[in-house]
Amino acid sequence: MIQPSEITALVLAGGRGSRMGGADKGLQNFNGTPLALHTVLRLQMQEGGLIGELMLNANRNLGAYEAFGAPVWPDTLSDYAGPLAGFLTGLERCETPYLLTVPCDSPLFPLDLASRLASAFDDDRTEIAMAAAREADGQLRAQPVFSLLRVELLESLVAFTHAGGRKIDRWTDQHRTVLVPFDQPGDDPRAFCNTNTLAELHALEQG
């Protein structure tokens, strides 16, 4: 079983916030707490205390993010290259065997996320454990920004991004990826709802 000291969690807050009118999404309030800080606190509450280290990926307002008490690292790729740029930054800075990625805009993500993804590594061949959730149409869909990765994948991701690759699924498809379903009785159907707009954020606040 993966130990807490083996996992570093990365909060992905480096996007443009284009659908929020350019607002820095991670600094928007959810129930009075900035989304990125809410994510940090929820990671600290993970079942089994599985998170050993924490860091944030952000590309602006770095001082505000640093106030949340964890190291903050901007993308090493230029021009807001998307979530994979955050993955790359996290893997470059990660000093533990595993990196857990969580976006800042899904404030209800499960408190047993880390433990259930870690359970997929009972097979030594697993390279990536990725959450999957059932959506409104009944389909179980991968949630690639919620992933637990082996840090050894850094070399592969460097090669992929330097060749111009930006699509998460095209990279993860190159590796042994296990989907971990979060559709069991008791699982919150809103757990992976992401808030791309202020209207969506306010609707999620109101339940």
Which residues on adjacent β-strands are paired with residue 164? none
Token pair recorded at residue 75: 């993308």
- Least reliable range by pLDDT among 30-34, 48-52, 100-104: 48-52
Q: Taking Cα atoms as reference points, which of 189, 206, 194 lies closest to residue 35?
A: 194
- What's residue 135's pLDDT? 83
- Tell me the mean pLDDT in the region 50-75: 95
- Least reliable range by pLDDT among 5-19, 45-59, 122-136: 5-19
CATH classification of the domain holding 34: 3.90.550.10
What is the C-alpha separation between 183 and 194, in angstroms, rounded? 17
- What's residue 48's pLDDT? 85
Secondary structure (3-state) at 112: coil
Based on the structure, what is the number of domains in the chain? 1
The residue segments making up the domain with residue 10 are 4-205
What is the C-alpha separation between 6 and 19, in angstroms, rounded? 35
Q: Taking Cα atoms as reference points, which of 15, 179, 153, 9 lies closest to residue 85?
A: 15
Q: State the residue for tokens 């190159």.
A: 174
- What's residue 85's pLDDT? 93
pLDDT tens for residues 12-32? 998 766 666 678 999 999 999
pTM above 0.75, yes or no: yes
- Please report the sign of the dihedral spanned by the C-alpha atoms of residue 143, residue 175, residue 160, residue 10: positive
